[in-house]
Structure 1
Amino acid sequence: MGHWLERNIVEPGKLPLLLALTAFVLTFLITRVITRLIRAGKGPFGNVSTGGVHIHHVVPGVVLTVVGGFGAVASGRHGFVAGLCAVVFGMGAGLVLDEFALILHLDDVYWTEEGRKSVEVVVLTAALVGLMLAGFSPFGVNDVTQEEAQDRGGVISSVVVNFLFAMLVLLKGKTRMAIFSVIIPLVGLIGVIRLARPGSPWARRFYRSRPRARARATLRAYHRDKRWSGPRRRFQDLIGGKPDPTPSLERR
């Protein structure tokens, strides 16, 4: 284990990234545990307020992110300070993205259906950083050979092609695939080949006069959402807690 860590993490200069990812995940999990205890009225924890204003944990998260980010830029990639800044940055990012939905909606939607976005973004961020830690580079530059890497034209061409793939996938309404295709070009290729989601810009433009393709896209999206929406919601509830029922459901 020590040899693997030295060879694959320390020598390539990825230790700060590993520390940041670890701090990010742990901070998010600990924060969720504390907020769930507060919600249940258990434990010694409580909401922080000053002058009648509820201080959300995104506020210290922004401070930690700024301090850690600027500190990392100033310290370089190696040394104790760089590692410490990476931890501070990861903690701040964990606090900020835990309330991503609040920032997106400019409202306290932490325990609502809209609040699920925070959990989704955190999981997505952790997965992408994990892929980068494993050696994947954005836009498939890691797939370029050493000879091609010395040729700027080859690198630029690879970046442009993979960027276009990512944009096409995004136009097809497949946001998650588009994000992952930035790291893994094969995902982008699969997304380009597959049908677009109904309602996406691609479907509105190219399926308007193709009723068969429009029907196939709608049917595929229905079966996919039906298959994965349940497991995805249960996974989000396990990590972040179950949202409060909506008023319409309470009346029923």
Structure 2
Amino acid sequence: MSMPVEPKEPPQAPLIEHLIELRTRLLRAVVSVLVIFLGLYAFANDIYTFVAQPLMALLPEGSQMIATEVASPFLAPFKLTLVVAVFAAIPYVLHQAWAFVAPGLYDNEKALALPILGSSILLFYAGAAFAYYVVFPLLFQFFTQTGPENVTVMTDINAYLNFVLKLFFAFGVAFEIPIATFLLILSGATTVESLSKKRPYIILGCFVIGMLLTPPDVVSQSLLAVPMYLLYEVGLLFGRLVRRKQRDEEGEP
């Protein structure tokens, strides 16, 4: 009499477990954003005033920001507060992503990934801060002083918010260039020597990207393109140092 065969565990079980864990991580990330948003919403108008200060400080006497849509006084601060909540939650969100993928990484990959992840977060915040404290005052001073004398500057609050959010994102991403350059060199996709020879194309590419990501004026394009190129050089420097260290460890000349 043959023994009954026990049913095998379905092969989908590991996949289902991963999907459940992924759902849990995503829910935690979303909840973190909502918690921060609820905590900041009481200060929504103050946050908008802070973000609008670079322009408001340069408006001509008698000018002010306006709302041309019925719901703009509510929606503009609401939208900005939600974006700020997402920005503030980025470290925790990336921590959840890291906790999901880390078990599948080797120790040397983990040792390299953590500094890159932390640097990416700091560089993104640095790009947004650079846009607010350096770019906005120069840009808005240029805009408010070059208009016709008989035109009163009264910017719509929603149009201003869309403008500055675009610049925050553009400069935040642009400041990630050292990380991207470093990873390309480290992975062997390219070399420091090859990238160094392509400097003229890189400079041209920086200005093209500046043209696409910023308003159509030379000032804002240059304020994005020049830091992008300098950050590219920083990435080359770190890539050169790492490759030199690897050669020393391998005993190469």
TM-score under structure 1 length normalisation: 0.32
Larger Rg: 2
Which one has more relative contact order, counting CA pairs under 8 Å at least 6 apart?
2
Bigger fraction of residues in helix: 2
